[in-house]
Amino acid sequence: MLQQPIAGRYELLEELNSGGMGDVWRGYDAVLDRPVAVKVVRHQAVAGSPQLAEEFAKRFKREARITARIQHPGVPQVYDAVLDDTDTTYERLFLVMELVDGMPLSAYIHPANPLPVSWAVAVAAQVATVLSYAHDVPVSHRDLKPSNILVARDGTVKVLDFGIAAILRTDVTKLTATGSLIGTYQYMAPEQVRGGRTSPQTDLYALGCVLHELLSGRTLFTADSEYLVMYQHVNAAPTPLRALRPDVPTALEELVLHLLRKAAEARPADVQEVYERLRPFLPPPGERPAPGEAGPAGAPDPTALFRRPYAPRARADAARPTPTTVDPAAVPPAAVPVPDQLREEIAEAYAHSDALLDEERFTQAAEVLGGIIDPAARALGPENGKVLELRTQRAAIRLLGGDYRAALPEFDALADAYARTGGPGSRQARACRAQAARCRGELGQVTEALATLRNVLDVVRAVDGDVSEEAVELRRDIGMLLLAQGRATEARLVLAPLHDDLCLVYGPQDEMSEEVAEALTLIELDLDGPAA
């Protein structure tokens, strides 16, 4: 890991994968408080003469610009391109991009479990759509393969590494002085193997290889060496899909064979033609998946994009699992002493998280606590007091950082856990229910938020009265939510007596007293407006 942040803002946290031209890291943008992906171009790639290094730096700039021009949700966004030009070797080249939460397509390919036809076709159709936008720039990918195709949690397919294709463009100045070929041998079109000029039809051949593999569960050609595989790409006929899997529709088999023709000009005219020939095998809007169409267990559903086009994102409560992944039944509920080492690690996590909070690095502060929560839950039990405190602090940080969608299910789960361990009316259970309600208010779920806040207030009034710190905060939140909804009369009925109580107990100069007074002034102006 680099000791200094890149460009004073991007930190490298964890290596995600390594390739021939560079490494990809999970990073953190300290200015915008968000996770990023950082591609670090390897020094070996630019080793050589100063002239070659200068040409590589120019090519790197072109990479960023070309990738940024592909405006499609299936291509990760480019945020920044950084060149460290302190010397002429350009050792430090970084591409900062959107971090995609998903799995590579290669993770779902298995010879014993062929993917459903609709699942495979939906992936290919999404890739075709991305390629159509790229070819219009124009730029060809030249290294399309399952490991460069990511399936995000919502089923969206992301095509990675267009930038590498741009930086290695062979029609500018040849960089591969060693004679190494550009691409991955299992998916190389014959013209790539021969070292000839590539084109959009080169990507179509690779798409045919990928679709064949998705439907058959194995790569198109196999041999004892990569050279024999490349020889087969040039000379051997591909095995028709129906010979490997009879349930593949004939027209789909014909499309794959068309994509895999040896001569580039003999393949489909363009990727738009490919998409039109895939359309008959895509699920129509509104159709539910049939039995056997779901894909691998736990895998995202790439067909959802076609079944429910332009659908809203899933509701927050349904979109996220319970924050703690430990099965409660697997850990005994009895109190467990905290081992000394774990106690030290928890203290260090709190200290590190607090330091990040001081710098308003909310995303990282929450991640630091997340790193200790699961180990602590396994050692102590998921509803141990120390574990619940860690989870509560993480949820509070997410709320403070404005990530209400992530904080909401966590506060809901914590409220239930505190209700089980301390009773439904316990202070911690009340506080988490109120925080969940505040998240709902921010997410526009105002009716439910108001109902929850009022229920919690009833409990607090019965226990601590009407002017406790907890009670006045709840009364303030209820009034402000009503005001935000335009229910000014109801808001005044809540906030006016609250202001009287605040002035009596805390004084008119108190911060909350002044806040409520300002809200009441706005209410009066609004109510008096029509009569003026």
Q: With bands split at pLDDT 50, 70 and 90, how would you rate the model's confidence at 84?
A: low
What are 28-55's pLDDT values in tens digits?
A: 998 998 999 998 876 554 555 677 667 7
As a whole number of angstroms, the distance between CA 129 and CA 162 comes to 14
Query: What is the percent of the chain where pLDDT is above 90?
Result: 50
Q: Is 143 a catalytic residue?
A: yes
What are 87-108's pLDDT values in tens digits?
A: 445 566 788 989 988 899 999 9
- Does residue 291 surpass a pLDDT of 80? no
What mean pLDDT do residues 107-134 have? 94
- Does residue 183 surpass a pLDDT of 60? yes
- Does residue 219 surpass a pLDDT of 80? yes
What mean pLDDT do residues 407-411 have? 93
Query: What is the percent of the chain where pLDDT is above 70?
Result: 84
Q: Which amino acid is at 294?
A: A
Q: What is the pLDDT of residue 398?
A: 92
What mean pLDDT do residues 215-233 have? 94
| Least confidently predicted of 84-93, 275-284, 352-361, 384-393 | 84-93
Q: Which residue has the higher pLDDT, 12 or 51?
A: 12
Cα dihedral 421, 422, 428, 431 sign = positive
Q: What is the pLDDT of residue 19?
A: 65
How far does the chain reach from its first CA to its final CA, in angstroms? 66
Q: Which residue has the higher pLDDT, 234 or 83?
A: 234
Give the residue range(s) of CATH 1.10.510.10 domains in the chain. 102-307
Angle (nearest 5°) at CA 89 between 88 and 92 = 115
| Average pLDDT over all residues of the chain | 84
Q: Catalytic pick from 29, 84, 101, 143?
A: 143
- Does residue 13 surpass a pLDDT of 80? yes
Q: Which residue has the higher pLDDT, 382 or 91?
A: 382
- Does residue 248 surpass a pLDDT of 90? yes
Residue 44's nearest CA partner among 19, 63, 21, 23 is 21
- Does residue 410 surpass a pLDDT of 90? yes
Q: Which residue has the higher pLDDT, 133 or 90?
A: 133
Burial of 521 (C-beta count, 10 Å sphere; 0-12/13-18/19+)? exposed
- Does residue 174 surpass a pLDDT of 50? no
- Specify whether the CB–CB gap between 517 and 506 falls below 8 A: no
Q: Which amino acid is at 522?
A: L
What are 330-355's pLDDT values in tens digits?
A: 343 445 678 889 999 999 999 999 99
Name the packing angle between helices 385-400 and 404-422 (round to 10°).
Answer: 150
Q: What is the pLDDT of residue 322?
A: 40
Q: What is the pLDDT of residue 164?
A: 59
Q: What is the pLDDT of residue 21?
A: 62
Give the residue range(s) of CATH 3.30.200.20 domains in the chain. 10-97
- Specify whether the CB–CB gap between 386 and 336 falls below 8 A: no
What topology does CATH give the domain 10-97? Answer: Phosphorylase Kinase; domain 1 (3.30.200)
Residue range 102-307 in CATH 1.10.510.10: yes
Share in percent of the chain as helix, strand, coil (round to 5): 55, 10, 35
Q: What is the pLDDT of residue 187?
A: 94
| Least confidently predicted of 145-149, 371-375, 525-529 | 525-529
Q: What pTM was estimated for this model as a whole?
A: 0.64
Q: What is the pLDDT of residue 241?
A: 96
Q: What is the pLDDT of residue 336?
A: 63
- Specify whether the CB–CB gap between 215 and 120 falls below 8 A: yes
